[in-house]
Each structure stands twice: as structure tokens, then as C-alpha cells.
């Protein structure tokens, strides 16, 4: 997945959450997703708690991370 595809999923803006990466179109920090997953919550629980984030955005981000990690490991 290219950085162009990643920028379709997340955005950064110094005026939104201090410039932290957020899910595009929301004010929800990407870090919140990873915090929730580390705490044992499901993707569906996360999306239920952050109604402005779409499940498709979460899946696309995780797929990007997986592809990036597998490419780096090869």
C-alpha cells in the first residue's frame, strides 16, 4: 500500500489533536486504536466507542501496517 493510500486513511494537522495522526475525517487519534487493541478490545468495540471511525478505516490501517511490516522483514 502506498503512502497515498495511507493518507486516505489518516491525516495530520497541527490544529487537530496537536498534529497527532488521526483517522481522516475525525479527531480520533490512531494511537487510540492501538491502545484499545493492546487492552484486549476488539475492532468492533473500538468502532462502537468512536462512532466517527469506520470499520473499513481500521481494517485498511491494519492491512497497511501488516504489509509494511512484511515488506520490511523480507
For 7-31, write each residue's pLDDT tens digit.
Answer: 999 999 999 999 999 999 999 999 9
Q: State the DSSP code for 29.
A: B
> What is the percentage of the chain residues whose pLDDT exceeds 90?
80
> Where does the pLDDT of residue 61 fall: very low under 50, low under 70, confident under 90, or very high at 90 and above?
very high
According to CATH, what is the number of the domain 3-73?
Answer: 1.10.10.10
Whether residue 53 has pLDDT greater than 80: yes
How many angstroms separate the CA atoms of 41 and 1, rounded? 26
- Are 54 and 47 in contact, with CB atoms under 8 Å apart? yes
Q: pTM for this structure?
A: 0.88
For the chain, the domains span: 3-73
Amino acid at each position: 500500500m502506498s503512502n497515498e493510500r495511507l493518507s486516505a486513511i489518516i491525516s495530520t494537522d497541527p490544529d487537530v489533536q496537536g498534529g497527532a495522526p488521526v483517522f481522516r475525517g475525525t479527531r480520533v487519534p490512531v494511537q487510540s486504536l492501538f491502545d484499545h487493541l493492546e487492552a484486549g478490545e476488539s475492532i468492533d468495540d473500538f468502532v462502537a466507542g468512536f462512532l466517527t471511525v469506520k470499520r473499513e478505516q481500521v481494517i485498511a490501517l491494519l492491512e497497511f501496517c501488516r504489509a509494511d511490516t512484511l515488506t520490511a522483514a523480507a
